[in-house]
Structure 1
Amino acid sequence: MATRQKSFSTQSSSGGGLAPWLGIASIIILLDQITKITINKTFRYGEDMFITSFFNLTLAYNKGAAFSFLGNAGGWQRYFFTAIGVGAALFIVYLLKKHASQRLFCWAMALILGGAVGNVIDRMVYGHVVDFLDFHWRGIGHFPAFNVADTAICIGAGLFILDELRRVNK
């Protein structure tokens, strides 16, 4: 019994390969797409729904990158950002496979992968990214609207930085 438990413990600490990380990315993609489909079906473009004094739901389209960077560039940016997203996704899958036993790193990469693919799907299907989470402060300053994919990318980036800081401090 002790041998079996030790063997199981060694297997789980060495990582489970690529599948768990792709599973996490798939969950992010699924949540992202379900929320975007729901917002697209229940809101008209630009429509707001008051939720709290600092948060609204709204339907917004982003043809550019983060904070609508290059949003009015004439259309070529759709293909450019799609290509970057696909390239990043392929590179992240490579990193996940190579470093599957590094849990925090792989969590970060899986979240970034799910977010990147979620936004690539939008660019391919709609020609723009669907955003709907609108945070603001007392009606004055509105943070640019974002979505579940963007949230996953930001959390993943934060985990990546944390992992790098931990690695450097060792």
Structure 2
Amino acid sequence: MSNVFKETGLRWLWLALIMLIVDQASKQLVVATMDYRQSIAVMPLFNLTYVHNPGAAFSFLADQGGWQRWFFTAIAAVMSILLIFWMSKTPKHQKMIAIAFALILSGALGNLIDRVMYGYVIDFLDFYIGNRHWPAFNIADSAIFVGAALMIIDAFKNDDKSKSESKTQSQE
């Protein structure tokens, strides 16, 4: 069993656990020290603003009657299981995709915990320009974004490798 963790992408589960802890700790710090909808100016273009998001990314479906809580909970649970499965099938030398899976897993679990415990996701990172604010987000959302970006980069890197390998084989 330990060989599975050493020889596959599961060796990056520690990263998912650390990011999950950072996400949950940051949310609990916000809840413990801020009032709901309170905003603290940190620097130009960035505030800490405590809000609840019953929807998905960018408050998608936030204004629905509550069914979305269980819908997004189910999606996060299924995706978490799939991500762990994919990590178990990823060879250890494919670091970037395994790290991407770990980051997305941590984000999915972080927001899943919020939905199950509260019925909404706790958001607090508020970037803005002038009076226009980007929808608030959290560490879990950031981990999902970075993980998705790494997946895209990995796809292009692997595409370049396969093109150069097929080019080398055709020249032989």
TM-score (norm 1): 0.88
Cross-structure match for 2:138: 147
Shift of 1:162: 0.2
Distance 1:16 1:92 in 2: 16
Q: How many pairs align?
A: 156
Shift of 1:100: 3.7
Shift of 1:56: 0.4
Cross-structure match for 1:20: 11
Shift of 1:21: 1.5
Distance 1:142 1:20 in 2: 38
Cross-structure match for 1:64: 55
- The share of aligned pairs that are identical, in percent, is 44
Runs of 4+ in 1 over 4 A off after TM superposition: none
Equivalent of 2:116, from 116, 124, 135? Answer: 124
Q: Structure 1, unaligned stretches of length 5 or more?
A: 1-10
Cross-structure match for 1:8: none
Q: Structure 2, unaligned stretches of length 5 or more?
A: 162-172
- SS in structure 2 at match of 1:61: strand
Shift of 1:19: 4.4
Distance 2:45 2:86 in 1: 38
TM-score (norm 2): 0.87
- SS in structure 2 at match of 1:59: strand
Matching of residue 104 in structure 1 with residue 70 in structure 2: no
Matching of residue 169 in structure 1 with residue 160 in structure 2: yes
Matching of residue 160 in structure 1 with residue 148 in structure 2: no
Matching of residue 87 in structure 1 with residue 78 in structure 2: yes
CA root-mean-square deviation: 1.3
Does the aligned pair in 1 maintain the 2:9–2:98 contact within 8 Å?
A: no
Listed one character per residue, the Cα deviations across residues 103-125 of structure 1 (whole Å, up to 9, x for unaligned) are: 00001000000000000000001
Distance 2:39 2:49 in 1: 4
